[in-house]
């Protein structure tokens, strides 16, 4: 048993510092697949430090089994709360029941889970990821204004809530536009490298790219990788192929300023701040917060002074 606990503890990368913190929170983070994810991790550390919270971050390197191990490790340590950014939506009930039995509240960050028992988590701090996809779809409908448009789609991690929901939302957004069709759709795993690789395949399969009117990517990192692939294929991203994605990371604003990307839907990397506040209020009053603390989703286009937004974003954990 002792060996198991030591092994689990070793798998946890400790980021907290406060020696006499009021609260100790264990955060099972997915990994660092995207610029947005890296920013979320760094903002979480900043928000914890502001509040004197001891935050212990475990990097799961994209594996649910590592997240489950980390949660068990946090339960064994007796932390005051657990934050979980679930890599996929299903398969959490058993480990979350263990946290519940130990009376450790769990807060979901940026992704949701599928469960029939919502008492397994205290609250979820996330955006409306279906809405994000719909905003992207609505933008495309407006932009192509009735012209025929074949879309290729780069999906996020298979089985993750944003990949499922952003796909659905986009399809809802274009549902009324018979001129717009999704001709190819594949996962790029939310990474830049995979986004580029899959886009290269799309370009080859679609007449070198001339049959593609738009790219919809479930995150900016995949879009940035795909932009590179489009350029290498001798086409102009943003003009020959419209590019719309989600996150609003600094690099996409640079691409927008260069005319190589067209629109992005913002996802704030500050999920931890509202989660810490909800946790503190819960600990102080015993009153459970709302089940969903929703963050905003704002559309940015080339008309929004992308270089200015790029500069502003650079200071915000990116």
Comparison of 109 and 203: residue with beta carbon closer to ligand AHR: 109
- Smallest CA-to-CA distance from 151 within 227, 230, 231, 244 is with 244
**253 binding ligand AHR? (CB under 6 A):** no
Comparison of 177 and 316: residue with beta carbon closer to ligand AHR: 316
Binders of ligand AHR in range 151-190 (CB under 6 A): 162, 190
Comparison of 28 and 219: residue with beta carbon closer to ligand AHR: 219
* Contact between 84 and 122 (Cβ < 8 Å): no
Q: How far is the CB of 264 from ligand AHR (least distance, A)?
A: 10
**217 binding ligand AHR? (CB under 6 A):** no
Q: How far is the CB of 190 from ligand AHR (least distance, A)?
A: 4
Q: How far is the CB of 132 from ligand AHR (least distance, A)?
A: 8
**192 binding ligand AHR? (CB under 6 A):** no
Comparison of 24 and 187: residue with beta carbon closer to ligand AHR: 187
Q: How far is the CB of 92 from ligand AHR (least distance, A)?
A: 15
The 88-127 contact track toward ligand AHR, x by CB under 6 A, reads ----------------------xx----------------
Q: Which residue is listed with tokens 């780069």? A: 154
Q: How far is the CB of 90 from ligand AHR (least distance, A)?
A: 15
End-to-end CA distance of the chain: 40
Q: How far is the CB of 14 from ligand AHR (least distance, A)?
A: 23
Pairing of strands 54-59, 13-14: antiparallel
Binding residues for ligand AHR, rule CB under 6 A, total 13
The 37-56 contact track toward ligand AHR, x by CB under 6 A, reads x-------------------
Binding site for ligand AHR (CB under 6 A): 33-34, 36-37, 110-111, 162, 190, 219, 221, 246-247, 267
């Amino acid at each position: 048993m002792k060996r198991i606990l030591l092994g689990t503890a070793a798998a946890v990368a400790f980021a907290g510092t406060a020696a006499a913190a009021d609260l100790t929170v264990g955060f099972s983070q997915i990994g660092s697949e995207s610029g947005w994810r890296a920013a979320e991790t760094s903002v979480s550390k900043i928000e914890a430090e502001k509040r004197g919270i001891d935050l212990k971050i475990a990097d799961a390197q994209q594996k649910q089994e590592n997240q489950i191990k980390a949660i068990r490790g946090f339960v064994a340590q007796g932390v005051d709360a657990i934050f979980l950014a679930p890599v996929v939506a299903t398969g959490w009930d058993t480990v979350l029941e263990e946290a519940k039995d130990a009376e450790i509240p769990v807060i979901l960050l940026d992704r949701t889970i599928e469960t029939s028992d919502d008492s397994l988590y205290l609250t979820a701090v996330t955006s409306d990821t279906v809405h994000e996809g719909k905003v992207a779809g609505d933008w495309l409908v407006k932009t192509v204004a009735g012209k025929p448009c074949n879309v290729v789609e780069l999906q996020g991690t298979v089985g993750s809530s944003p990949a499922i929901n952003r796909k659905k939302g986009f399809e809802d957004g274009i549902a009324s536009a018979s001129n717009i069709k999704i001709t190819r759709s594949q996962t790029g795993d939310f990474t830049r490298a995979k986004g580029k690789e899959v886009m290269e395949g799309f370009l080859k399969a679609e007449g070198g790219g001339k049959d593609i009117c738009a790219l919809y990517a479930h995150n900016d990192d995949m879009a940035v990788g795909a932009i590179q692939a489009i350029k290498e294929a001798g086409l102009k991203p943003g003009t020959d192929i419209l590019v719309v994605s989600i996150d609003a990371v600094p690099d996409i604003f640079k691409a927008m300023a260069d005319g190589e990307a067209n629109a992005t839907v913002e996802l704030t990397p500050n999920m931890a701040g509202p989660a810490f506040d909800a946790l503190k209020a819960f600990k102080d009053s015993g009153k459970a917060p709302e089940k969903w603390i929703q963050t905003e989703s704002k559309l940015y286009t080339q008309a929004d002074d992308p270089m200015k937004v790029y500069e502003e974003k650079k200071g915000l954990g990116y």
